[in-house]
Structure 1
């Protein structure tokens, strides 16, 4: 095992219930680099070829895992597939692009990578840092994130519910560990779940089937803007049910959790996705132990019932102690 691999703990479930190795998609948002340089660097990294679908959307082909996407994350420009008709139109588009680039990130979207290939993403990040790419801390308006899309280990309601319960119990701990940037906290992109939904789900007696799990989620969270966005997974499991409540075309069904909480700190020396991945694996370790998870849910319920609990920041310290006792690293 290389030193790089040692940074990446493996989850308790390395394979799906069908016996296939689990995959993880990675999304990195950044600025201070142009799309041609970025897509060329990705192509060099994976030994692939750049296909320019438009001025603002490039696809890198050639990776055995699938295609990588490199794009300016701005729908107006992403959807422009034709060159400007004349110089005036080109100037207008350039002005729009310049304005967008001040607040809208360029984004790399990996294909679903086998979990043991995650260390390769850190090597790509090192190369991005060397050419001057900036992440969350690169500007006051840079609310840029790292998104992890771990494939679910199984599709049954109990497995999914346990992961959701583990996230809700660990949310404050994860947020503290992630040192979420103020600009990102002020946006709606990574909003916390409503308190009433949290209380519903962390009840150890909460054992819904898939339809009820989805319906409860949609009743409280008809939005993509959650630190753990479950809409892609639920759209994969029951697209009709999700579309009835959330017609947003950006919601695309896939058998993954969509974890959106961490910053993308490409320009910070030594930073890599291993930091957030390690915390996610802790969540999976908790979810994989139903009895311990039920105990944590009970502790969280009692904490939420304490007088003035919402003004008390001690839950993260309690979680730290509980994890140290039950899941030593």
Structure 2
């Protein structure tokens, strides 16, 4: 993974920015997968029930490898007593759930927040998992597996967050085409696009909200985690009561990061790499930090959205690639 020199690699406090990585896959048994990762990263493997492992010993924090099925993980925490009818029933139920869900419920690898300079380790680990037989998303409805990045922001002020959001909606269609999101994930609601009315509101030339207004506007149109760029963890970190009043989902975890959920995991392909999706994300970073280019790109998308002839006969992605992207990812 070649790490692009981002326009801002430090946080407001001067620390190196960090990014969490989540990879969904199957094809390798859970314990074998966890042991492989522990060996590759020289970590200590700790079982936390029958369906989740914690890997300790990394200075950045603990890694997790688990079945992405909350009920099954809860059942896997229980100890069953031989000879107890109720426990035998629960054990059979757990076994059935595991067997039925195994083909389509992914195993999930969750990294700690890694310094940007350590992203190459994710690339090496991905190659090792591919060699071991890991499989990602496919054109079957049973396999809708993703790759997710949780990049820490360089600053947490309203202006910085607004610019990132504007840059993302400008690039959203291009990112989807680049990722070639497969059928299994397109038909699920996990990455529903931002509503057109919100995009128009966000891209207005005079849109300069304070933080409270920025959060309220987002929640008005997006009271859900199911967006390709999920802002709820970040906004919960900044104003938890405001977010919980509208979207009180226990799966929303406060953290000072974006939650970029769009990319597929295609780890079964020899030519696939997390670097492909990360390189595309970097285009969002560069556009967000080039205010003149962002303003011009936003204006062009506004014109495109309000002109039905353009929407019928022209392709926004073609215009975007011709005028607004940096050449490195085209």
Question: TM-score band, normalised by the shorter chain?
Answer: over 0.9
1:231 and 1:147 map into 2 onto residues whose CA distance is 15
**Which range is displaced more, 230-239 or 89-98?**
89-98
Q: 1:312 to 1:142 in 2, by over 3 A?
A: farther
Deviation, structure 1 residue 140:
4.1
Residue correspondence of structure 1 range 69-218 to structure 2 within 5 A: 69-80=64-75, 81-85=77-81, 86-137=87-138, 139-218=140-219
2:114 and 2:27 map into 1 onto residues whose CA distance is 26
**Which range is displaced more, 311-320 or 122-131?**
311-320
- TM-score w.r.t. structure 2 length? 0.94
1:49 and 1:322 map into 2 onto residues whose CA distance is 49
Provide the aligned length of Structure 1 versus Structure 2: 322
Q: 1:84 to 1:33 in 2, by over 3 A?
A: farther
1:138 and 1:95 map into 2 onto residues whose CA distance is 26
Asked whether the 8 Å contact 2:144–2:184 carries over to 1, the reply is yes
Instruction: Give CA-to-partner distance per residue, 1:41-87, whole Å, 9 cap, x none.
Output: 11112211111111111110011110001111111112221134444
Of 30, 33, 37, the residue aligned with 2:32 is 37
Asked whether the 8 Å contact 1:84–1:93 carries over to 2, the reply is no
Instruction: Give CA-to-partner distance per residue, 1:81-110, whole Å, 9 cap, x none.
Output: 113444443232111011111221100000
What is aligned with 1:321?
322
Residue correspondence of structure 1 range 203-242 to structure 2 within 5 A: 203-242=204-243
RMSD: 1.4
Q: 1:95 to 1:313 in 2, by over 3 A?
A: farther
Gaps of 5+ in 1: none
Partner of 2:20, secondary structure, is strand
1:197 and 1:138 map into 2 onto residues whose CA distance is 30
Partner of 2:64, secondary structure, is strand
Corresponding position: 1:13 with 2:14 = no
Deviation, structure 1 residue 312:
5.0
Gaps of 5+ in 2: 82-86
Instruction: Give CA-to-partner distance per residue, 1:145-188, whole Å, 9 cap, x none.
Output: 00011100101100000000000011001110111111101100
Asked whether the 8 Å contact 1:46–1:62 carries over to 2, the reply is no
Asked whether the 8 Å contact 2:52–2:64 carries over to 1, the reply is yes
- TM-score w.r.t. structure 1 length? 0.95
Asked whether the 8 Å contact 2:68–2:108 carries over to 1, the reply is yes
1:289 and 1:223 map into 2 onto residues whose CA distance is 29
Partner of 1:65, secondary structure, is coil
